[in-house]
């Protein structure tokens, strides 16, 4: 007997999410250049037709992956500042605690797609460089806001620029992940973050 029941239709948003998650996993493992559209479809268990329905090419999904990663990370970091009225220094400590938490997963060394893509593509893919820059700037803006509030509350006369310090901390965070990945040593990243927090507390004259 013939079965004319309609086949279940896959939700478009779910399909796009599966493609993005597959791309995240592949690019964390092997970077952008080594990842192909065929790899992404195979990892996601989807056809190339599904891929090209949602993304024009590999660069389009690469850019979307950076955006997804940035939104994912920002949502996690937002736990540090979500409580209105909380001491901004405690927000900063929580912020550092979140970063340290990223290094404590036993199944992988801490890394960041934004940093990886910046290293790999900034010289060759202007659109990808611009998206990476936006995500790095967002991290810095959030960090600088907490630093400025902590300075105003705890050390208004301290001689430092919150934005400059935030960029320094961003560079230290990204650089630590790069070195930690190369050395396969997450403890090194944690040590750097703890020293950075102690330095920030010193700027605010907190013993």
CATH of residue 187's domain is: 1.10.357.10
Residues 50 and 110 placed together within one structural domain of the fold: no
pLDDT digits (tens, 9 = 90+) for 31-54: 999 999 999 999 999 999 999 999
Residues 191 and 106 placed together within one structural domain of the fold: yes
Is pLDDT above 50 for 5?
no
pLDDT digits (tens, 9 = 90+) for 98-157: 999 999 987 777 999 999 999 999 999 999 999 999 999 999 999 999 999 999 999 999
Residues 142 and 107 placed together within one structural domain of the fold: yes
Which residue is listed with tokens 């010289």?
123
pLDDT digits (tens, 9 = 90+) for 175-206: 999 999 999 999 999 999 999 999 999 999 86
pLDDT the model gives residue 18: 96
- Distance from C-alpha of 71 to C-alpha of 192, rounded to nearest angstrom: 25
- Distance from C-alpha of 20 to C-alpha of 14, rounded to nearest angstrom: 10
Residues 47 and 105 placed together within one structural domain of the fold: no
Q: Give the structural domain span for 33.
A: 1-55
Query: How far does the chain reach from its first CA to its final CA, in angstroms?
Result: 80
Tell me which of 18, 38, 55 is where a domain ends.
Answer: 55
Angle between helices 58-77 and 88-102 (to 10 degrees): 130
- Distance from C-alpha of 39 to C-alpha of 17, rounded to nearest angstrom: 16
- Distance from C-alpha of 53 to C-alpha of 48, rounded to nearest angstrom: 8
Residues 117 and 186 placed together within one structural domain of the fold: yes
Residues 47 and 68 placed together within one structural domain of the fold: no
Q: What percent of the chain has pLDDT over 90?
A: 89
Is pLDDT above 70 for 97?
yes
Residues 116 and 171 placed together within one structural domain of the fold: yes
Residues 112 and 38 placed together within one structural domain of the fold: no
CA 81, 65, 7 angle in degrees (round to 5)?
115
pLDDT the model gives residue 155: 95
Sign of CA dihedral 88, 74, 165, 196: positive
CB-facing half-sphere around the CA of 40: CA atoms within 13 A: 32
Say if residue 24 is exposed, middle or buried (CB neighbours under 10 Å; 0-12, 13-18, 19+).
Answer: middle
Instruction: Provide mean pLDDT across the span 78-88.
Output: 93
pLDDT the model gives residue 206: 64
**Across the chain, what does the average pLDDT equal?**
93
Query: Which residues touch 99 (CB under 8 Å, ≥6 apart)?
Result: 173, 193
Q: Give the total number of structural domains in the chain.
A: 2
Residues 86 and 40 placed together within one structural domain of the fold: no
Is pLDDT above 60 for 20?
yes
pLDDT the model gives residue 10: 60
Asked whether 73 and 166 are in contact (CB, 8 A), the reply is no
Run of H or E residues at 25: helix 12-30
Task: Look up residue 105 and give its two tokens.
Answer: 């997963």
Kindly report the length of the chain. 207
Give the confidence band of 83 by pLDDT, cuts at 50, 70, 90: confident
pLDDT digits (tens, 9 = 90+) for 59-76: 999 999 999 999 999 999
Residues 44 and 124 placed together within one structural domain of the fold: no
pLDDT the model gives residue 4: 43
Residues 68 and 83 placed together within one structural domain of the fold: yes
pLDDT the model gives residue 1: 43
Residues 94 and 190 placed together within one structural domain of the fold: yes
Q: Is the pTM of this model over 0.75?
A: yes
CATH of residue 49's domain is: 1.10.10.60
């Amino acid at each position: 007997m013939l079965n004319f029941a309609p086949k279940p239709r896959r939700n478009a948003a779910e399909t796009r999410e599966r493609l993005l998650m597959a791309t995240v996993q592949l690019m964390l493992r092997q970077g952008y250049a080594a990842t192909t559209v065929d790899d992404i479809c195979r990892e996601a268990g989807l056809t190339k037709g599904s891929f090209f329905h949602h993304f024009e090419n590999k660069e389009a999904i690469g850019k979307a992956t950076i955006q997804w990663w940035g939104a994912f990370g920002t949502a996690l970091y937002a736990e540090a500042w979500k409580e209105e009225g909380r001491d901004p220094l405690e927000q900063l400590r929580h912020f550092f605690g979140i970063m340290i938490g990223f290094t404590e997963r036993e199944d992988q060394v801490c890394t960041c797609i934004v940093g990886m893509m910046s290293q790999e593509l900034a010289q060759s893919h202007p659109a990808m460089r611009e998206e990476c820059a936006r995500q790095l700037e967002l991290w810095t803006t959030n960090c600088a806001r907490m630093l400025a509030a902590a300075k105003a509350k705890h050390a208004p006369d301290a001689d430092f620029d919150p934005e400059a310090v935030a960029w320094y901390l961003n560079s230290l965070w990204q650089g630590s992940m790069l070195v930690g990945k190369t050395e396969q040593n997450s403890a090194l990243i944690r040590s750097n973050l703890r020293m950075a927090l102690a330095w920030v507390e010193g700027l605010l004259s907190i013993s």
